[in-house]
Structure 1
Amino acid sequence: MKLIEALPIVLSCQNLSKSFRGRHKQETVVLADINLEIRKGSFVTILGQSGGGKSTLLKLLGGFLPPSSGNVLFNGQSLKNNTPDIGMIFQDHNLYPWMTVEQNVGFGFRIKGEKPGNYKHLVHEILDTVGLSHARKLYPHQLSGGMRQRVAIARSIVVKPTVLLLDEPFSALDVQLRRRLQEFLLALWSEMNTTMILVTHNVEEAILLGQKLVVVGSNPGRIVEEMTISDIQYRDRYHPDFLHVQRYLESVLEGNLKEQGDNYYEEVLAISRIQKINS
């Protein structure tokens, strides 16, 4: 586990807000006053209920959407547009059905105009890393759902982005496959120096994968909780400490934390040894 506090900041939000106008020019505030620091090489999970603005925040962090106010900084510079240094994986794998696995993974190099001889070895290396060397000549329809998502991850990772954004990439998968891919993603992150930011509405997933966990509330979306997760028991979904924190985060999401009592979070800290940020 990487020591998050010792890492330099790669992405940050400063008083970030996002609004959208509807058909009748009515403005809806989706995100408000987001202040967030993400350190290089860390794994951050953003947790929130459906429709709470998590995916919008992810797109703002990637430069896919402009902020209504505030700023996003990437390596200390204002992020105006998407950059190849920030990749993104969506819920749908978005693979090209007429291309083989190998061609899909190498597509990023192809659109840059690079010759296959210059990048083919990189494609083979990443396919070996994600365990799909045997499938490189297959087409997407010949793959399982989990294999297709691994291809999508390989396609994003092979170009060596500084940051990889993941928008609920496992939400459409069954429980067992989802758990296998969570373990795969965590192992991949441990081997690489890529900063990963994953959006989810699944509390268990957020704890399992997050080195830093951010909870976004709704109407409008605001950060209501931040914590770092460093101890090994939080990679075990059946550990009592894990279950205790899961219960706490579910209460935060439901907005009924006060019903647990004023000392509930202090109890979580004492039992789980999770460090709360900005307490």
Structure 2
Amino acid sequence: MLTHTQPWDAFRVEHLSVDYGGRPSPIKDLSLDLRAGEVTCVLGKSGCGKTTLLKALGGFVQAEPSGGVLFRGHYLRGPTPEIVMIFQENNLFPWLTVSQNIGFALKFRPPPGAGKKAAIRQMLDTVGLADAAHAYPHQLSGGMRQRAAIARALITEPQVLLLDEPFSALDVGLRRRMHVLMHDLWQRTGKTMVMVTHNIEEAILVGHRVIVLGARPARVLFDADTRAPDMRDRYAPAFLDLQKQLESYID
């Protein structure tokens, strides 16, 4: 496993309020720390500000002057190639093959060293799509399309992956295979990942930490470490106890 990012690369959310141009914002005066090199999963009821928080972490929404988001010790003033966001819809270009879709990202951030073709081959191997390199998106399953989207994000070697319900459209079997992929990717890269999800089981299985946000304004209701081996077994008593506890905040 590669060396993880250092603690000073973590996000720090300080009294964050999001400027919605005069419209009510779900986030007002929110503060929390997100540790580097961890997978943090964010749960909460619809409308509580989960996606708004994710967009703020990516520099895609404007914070009010009273606070903001620090990344690597500096306030984010806009998007940066060090932080990449993956959405529920994979947004692959239908007229490009898997290899071409992945390689498209390199137009904006060319790879060092061996070059574009080698970087694409390595990324295809990483996400298990080597045999689908020349396929088009319509020829792929939902899980394969999402793997291609993740590969396109990873190939630019960002420090952080932000994921907004990336597996919500997949059936149970595919979701669980994607959970394994997420764990394998983290084992290989040690990247900081923040994932929004409505699925409690997914949050426990994928995350090292689970945060529950309450709504209007967003606030941290619950914050738990989920690194214990029992948290990788959905039938373990500790897993089921935590699942029940999280349900009490969301139901």
1:114 positional shift: 7.5
Tell me what 1:53 maps to.
49
> What CA distance in whole angstroms lies between the structure 1 residues aligned with 2:228 and 2:246?
17
Structure with the bigger RCO (C-alpha within 8 Å, sep 6+) is 2
Partner letter of residue 94 of structure 2?
Answer: P
Q: 1:188-236: per-residue Cα shift (whole Å, max 9, x none)?
A: 1111121111001111111111111111111222111112122111011
1:175 positional shift: 1.1
- State yes or no: 1:214 paired with 2:214: no
Tell me what 2:12 maps to.
12
The counterpart of 1:120, out of the listed 110, 117, 122, is 117
Q: State TM-score, norm by structure 1.
A: 0.83
Partner letter of residue 79 of structure 1?
Answer: L
1:182 positional shift: 1.1
Tell me what 2:75 maps to.
78
Q: 1:8-30: per-residue Cα shift (whole Å, max 9, x none)?
A: 44211001112535xxx6x3131
Secondary structure of the equivalent of 1:31? coil
Equivalent residues in 2 for 1:63-142 (5 A)?
63-68=59-64, 69-112=66-109, 118-142=115-139
- State yes or no: 1:179 paired with 2:165: no
Partner letter of residue 96 of structure 2?
Answer: M
- State yes or no: 1:169 paired with 2:160: no
1:111 positional shift: 3.5
- State yes or no: 1:240 paired with 2:237: yes
Q: State TM-score, norm by structure 2.
A: 0.92
Higher mean C-alpha displacement, 228-237 vs 6-15: 6-15
Tell me what 1:262 maps to.
none
> What CA distance in whole angstroms lies between the structure 2 residues aligned with 1:198 and 1:113?
26
Stretches of structure 1 lacking an aligned partner (at least 5 in a row): 255-279
> What CA distance in whole angstroms lies between the structure 2 residues aligned with 1:49 and 1:179?
22
> What CA distance in whole angstroms lies between the structure 1 residues aligned with 2:24 and 2:217?
8
Greater strand percent: which structure? 1
Partner letter of residue 109 of structure 1?
Answer: L
Percent of pairs identical after alignment?
A: 47
1:252 positional shift: 1.8
1:112 positional shift: 4.5
- State yes or no: 1:143 paired with 2:140: yes
Secondary structure of the equivalent of 1:32? coil
**Paired residues, number:** 247
Query: Max radius of gyration: which structure?
Result: 1
Stretches of structure 2 lacking an aligned partner (at least 5 in a row): none
Q: 1:102-151: per-residue Cα shift (whole Å, max 9, x none)?
A: 01011111244779x82110110010011100111111011110000000
Partner letter of residue 79 of structure 2?
Answer: N
Do the aligned residues in 1 keep the contact of 2:42 with 2:195 (CA within 8 Å)?
yes
Higher mean C-alpha displacement, 47-56 vs 95-104: 47-56
